[in-house]
Structure 1
Amino acid sequence: MSEATFMDKAAELDAADELAERRKLFALDDGTVYLDGNSLGALPRHVPARLADVISREWGELRIRSWEESGWWTAPERIGDRIAPLVGAAPGRIVVGDSTSVNVFKAVVAAVRMVADDARDEIVVDATTFPTDGYIAESAARLTGRRLVPVSPTELPAALGPRTAAALINHVDFRTGRLHDLPSLTAAVHDAGALAVWDLCHSAGALPVGLDEHGVDLAVGCTYKYLNGGPGSPAYLYVAERHQARFDSPLPGWNSHADPFAMAAGYTAADGAPRGRVGTPDILSMLALESALDVWDGVRVAAVRAKSLALTDFFLECVEAYAPDGRVTSLTPRAHAERGSQVALSCAEAPAVMKALIERGVVGDLRRPDVLRFGFTPLYVGFADVERAARVLADVLAEVPAAPRD
């Protein structure tokens, strides 16, 4: 098809898009195609006013009274309940706070403690995981006297057995955008008598997760990608209801005490999701996140997933039509059941290509040495954006000299 034909197709798809009006809720300029929401989501337009009120009135005027009068104290659970439907969880199972790394540590150590079987001396981890998860899992293994077993997700079922205490798995591979089969892998972990811990950083807000439906034990995720919570916005921890009474956090802080203001010398864990709290909540970033979540009001996750797949399908189609032969290869699976909400292209000249793309208003990101990564956030990315991004990519590839081939 010609460029004009692809532009016409993009216009038709945008006209039929039930989520198209959501773009107006974000601070985006027409001159930029923003395809890096899988690293940092765009700013919802109303958040600055809300944060200004938090600073000037709640902090500036009410001061300490805001812990009670403005609901600061209950924010971690309240915001957790707003995230819950986006990942398929009932209220009371998610608490917001700390970073993803800290929550991974809590979840993995708590999983080993809940299994409470010295014969289960292995922690299985996704070998392709985001590096921090691997670092944390290794530390958790040392702390609990377990051995770390890194395996690819495709090999995970075969690696499970009577020695497995827990498995830490990424729902979507951060490099390739490959979606791993959460229901079947969770079932395999349970069949082995272990607990499943899932990292949802690249899936929450982009596709259905089904934590309760699929019997996930523990899960963590960030909020600054598809949930648009802002740079460094707090992460969250999911603890299945059946495990909450036994959840034994390795970081028992005063905020998770059953009676935090008693300031008792001994620790007694709170009931439910608050067991996942540690120290004083980071209120400014937490309330910015709470406000950002307003953009999800009335949005069906199924519609988000349908648009995500349509966007990535169309991008791959346009790249295939526009890009010079042999310059880029998709690392992202074509099969919908195996694809998250990003497209990763292998390109020998990736650093120079991404630099040129950003200079021309197409913002993706680079994963060294040779991966061009493009994230498609259905709430604000349109099909015309997709066509333009592929067209500019083709222009850049035509201008950037090809690296010598062996």
Structure 2
Amino acid sequence: MTDRTTLAARAAELDAADALAPFRDEFVADPGVRAYFDGNSLGRPFAVTKERMAALLDAWGGRLIRGWDEQWMVAPEQVGDRIGALTLGAAPGQVVVGDSTTVLLYKLIRAAVAARPGRDEIAIDDDDFPTDRFLVESIARECGLTVRWIPVPRDGGPEPAQIQELVTERTALLLLSHVSYRSGHLADVETLTRLAHDAGALVLWDVCHSVGSVPTELDRWGVDLAVGCTYKYLNGGPGAPAFAYVRAGLQPELRQPITGWMGAADPFAMGEHYEPAPGIRRVLSGTPSILGMQPMLDMLDLIERAGMPAVRAKSVALTGMVVDALDGELAGLGLTLASPRDPSRRGGHVTLGHPDAQAVVARAWQRDVLPDYRAPGGIRIGLSPLSTSFAEVADGLGVIAECIRG
């Protein structure tokens, strides 16, 4: 058999044994797409989401302004609690759905540094997602702080020894990503959080590339703050709102900087001065996007049925198939592994290095295989476990190999 036939035969065996395979039928799939390798950027929609959106339109038209009193006002906390319980390991009252990832990161970074007066540094790794790095730089300028950059390899992430060295009594906040957007490196959240706490710093975790793909235990790990998006593995759709986690014990001392009326203790009192809501609601600012919360609810239902351990097991199997193919069927094509080889240190995507990566990705798109290009020279294979088959991975990798061969 040819290499491609061998890969397809292995994929068929894995699909036949996949207990999560029936869930794929619940997603809207474009028959013109051969392989979707971008589920870690934008998840597929659900067929039933049309019904959910239609029901919301009926409620909007039928109840009008009454809908706020009857159900919408509490939606940010209710949906936040579901995200927390199903994917984050967070007890109720600690997660709220609000603004974009960028706005929520800004709020919590500013609030965290204000909560540690006398400390004049923020630590972040030098290959974190651009938004995270840009925000840290601008907030440092605003507040007269120094940024301590943690150097990381482009195929890895921050390690405990670096945190011990760079996080000190001067550090107000350590900001890191649970899963690196470029390499897929999976951080040891519990250990790194403990080391930062030993130095008296607060810790904020960006969980955008892990929520819904990697089981997370924010409460058990002692995490202070976290922010995540909902349009990747939670399938909330383009521009779906993000969420924020604030540890219950930290909430009373946190003062977020964008003090809009929805985060006030009594929004409809129309008071002269701002008084923050007593719990997680204080993270809100303006009117939340009720429309934008709807699609993710279908994915949360699916995760509840499947269970995060099973989701993670399939994610490991999918990314493992890519790594195995790199060592076997894809050998000799100039590809390198730009992600951790150990599956316990790897999230839900794999990045393959190639000197002609950008052109290869462009050619693959022309053939209806959709990976991501990430500079410099990275072909990112993002595999959403509940909507991706092993056969799809095998076919997509075969097309990428043909695109490299020209």
TM range (shorter): over 0.9
Structure 2 partner of 1:35 = 37
- With 349-358 and 321-330 compared, the bigger mean Cα shift is at 321-330
Contact kept? 1:177, 1:344, Cα under 8 Å: yes
Give the C-alpha shift of residue 324 in structure 1. Answer: 5.2
SS in 2 for 1:278: coil
Read off the aligned partner of 1:145 and give its amino acid letter: G
How is 1:110-259 mapped onto 2 (pairs within 5 angstroms)?
110-115=111-116, 117-118=117-118, 120-152=119-151, 153-154=158-159, 155-259=162-266
Give the C-alpha shift of residue 381 in structure 1. Answer: 0.8
Read off the aligned partner of 2:106 and give its amino acid letter: F
SS in 2 for 1:266: coil
Whole-Å separation in 1 of the counterparts to 2:124 and 2:218 = 19
How is 1:269-284 mapped onto 2 (pairs within 5 angstroms)?
269-284=276-291
Give the C-alpha shift of residue 292 in structure 1. Answer: 4.0
Read off the aligned partner of 2:401 and give its amino acid letter: A
Read off the aligned partner of 1:222 and give its amino acid letter: C
Which TM-score applies when normalising by structure 1?
A: 0.94
Once the two structures are aligned, what percentage of the paired residues are identical? Answer: 44
Give the C-alpha shift of residue 308 in structure 1. Answer: 0.8
In structure 1, the gaps of 5 or more residues are: 400-406
Contact kept? 1:224, 1:232, Cα under 8 Å: yes
Read off the aligned partner of 1:142 and give its amino acid letter: R
How many pairs align? 395
Whole-Å separation in 2 of the counterparts to 1:5 and 1:294 = 36
Give the C-alpha shift of residue 58 in structure 1. Answer: 2.2
Contact kept? 1:319, 1:394, Cα under 8 Å: no
Read off the aligned partner of 1:134 and give its amino acid letter: R
- 1:77-136 Cα offsets, whole Å, 9 max, x none, are 011011102011111110001011111111111112222x31x11111121111111111
- 1:170-198 Cα offsets, whole Å, 9 max, x none, are 11111111112111110111011111100
In the alignment, which of 307, 311, 317 is matched to residue 300 of structure 1?
Answer: 307
- 1:185-235 Cα offsets, whole Å, 9 max, x none, are 101110111111000000111111210010000000000000100000000
Whole-Å separation in 1 of the counterparts to 2:172 and 2:258 = 20
Whole-Å separation in 2 of the counterparts to 1:292 and 1:210 = 19
Contact kept? 2:333, 2:401, Cα under 8 Å: no
Structure 2 partner of 1:404 = none
Contact kept? 1:324, 1:394, Cα under 8 Å: no
Whole-Å separation in 2 of the counterparts to 1:382 and 1:150 = 39
Whole-Å separation in 1 of the counterparts to 2:353 and 2:224 = 35
- 1:37-89 Cα offsets, whole Å, 9 max, x none, are 1110110111122112322x1222322111123x1111100110111020111
Runs of 4+ off more than 6 Å: none
Structure 2 partner of 1:18 = 19
How is 1:270-349 mapped onto 2 (pairs within 5 angstroms)?
270-323=277-330, 325-349=332-356
- 1:284-328 Cα offsets, whole Å, 9 max, x none, are 112233344322232211111111111111112123322251521
Structure 2 partner of 1:402 = none
Q: Does 1:68 align with 2:69?
A: yes
- With 167-176 and 144-153 compared, the bigger mean Cα shift is at 144-153
Whole-Å separation in 2 of the counterparts to 1:378 and 1:126 = 28
SS in 1 for 2:205: strand
Whole-Å separation in 1 of the counterparts to 2:61 and 2:377 = 48
Contact kept? 1:323, 1:397, Cα under 8 Å: no
Read off the aligned partner of 2:98 and give its amino acid letter: G
Whole-Å separation in 2 of the counterparts to 1:94 and 1:237 = 6
SS in 2 for 1:213: helix
In structure 2, the gaps of 5 or more residues are: 152-157
Contact kept? 1:47, 1:291, Cα under 8 Å: yes
Contact kept? 1:229, 1:293, Cα under 8 Å: no
Contact kept? 2:45, 2:295, Cα under 8 Å: no
Structure 2 partner of 1:59 = 60
Whole-Å separation in 2 of the counterparts to 1:14 and 1:326 = 26
Whole-Å separation in 2 of the counterparts to 1:291 and 1:315 = 28
SS in 2 for 1:308: helix
How is 1:69-108 mapped onto 2 (pairs within 5 angstroms)?
69=70, 71-85=71-85, 86-108=87-109
Contact kept? 1:25, 1:295, Cα under 8 Å: no
Contact kept? 1:319, 1:390, Cα under 8 Å: no
